[in-house]
Amino acid sequence: PPPPSPPLPSPVPPPPPSPPLPSPVPPPPPPSPLPPPPSPPSPSPTVGSQPSPPPPAQSPLPPLPPLWEVLLGNGYCRQTSSTDRLAWAEQTGCLRTQEECRSSCSFRAGCTCYSYASPADIEDDYNGCREQGLGRCNIYGDEQAFATSSSNQYYQSWALRFAPSPPPPTSTLPSPSPPPPPPSPPLPSPVPPPPPSPPLPSPVPPPPPPSPL
């Protein structure tokens, strides 16, 4: 008999499925910017330290002392008599008005008196003032002037005096009213009159005399 046929080979199993490909890894996010460094803390004030006071305000300059003038009369300025000259005298030249002459004296240190001859009254021709139709001015100091010279009577002289300081202002606050007087003590209540005394009992009549036996 023919030999038996060899057994058929077993079928080869299919290869296992290949594993899935890994998903692509996303790129890392960009680094976030670093925060700014913290500012240093402000120094705390030292306990007990006082803030520096503001600089004191500059006090205003004191006002110039006010002046008032006294008409001495005709002639040059003199102290107490017609020949008693002051310590110094200056010729300020030709001026148009008395006010200009007064200003020349006011702005000159130590000036206490000035003499002025108006264009209508001037008789001399010093400095050519009369030819120019101007008056003439002289100023004097340091002493006070109370008199005038007997010559050059076409000049008039005025003395400048310092005005006295005004009195300090009085307070406008009302004076405090006096405290009210203490209340008077209450009057004592009137004492009630005593009750009337009870009537006296009527006298007991004497017993009747015994009847005769």
| Amino acid 64: pLDDT | 46
Q: Say what the pLDDT of residue 150 is.
A: 93
What is 141-161 written as a DSSP string?
ESS---EE-SS-TT-EEEEEE
96: Cβ contacts below 8 Å, ≥ 6 apart: 119, 134, 135
pLDDT at 158: 96
**Beta-bridge mates of residue 115:** 138, 157
Region of 128 please: left (phi>0), alpha (psi -120 to 50) or beta. Answer: left
Amino acid at site 47: V
Q: Which residues of the chain have pLDDT under 70?
A: 1-67, 163-176, 188, 201-213
The Cα–Cα gap between 115 and 143 comes to: 15
pTM score: 0.48
pLDDT of residue 63: 47
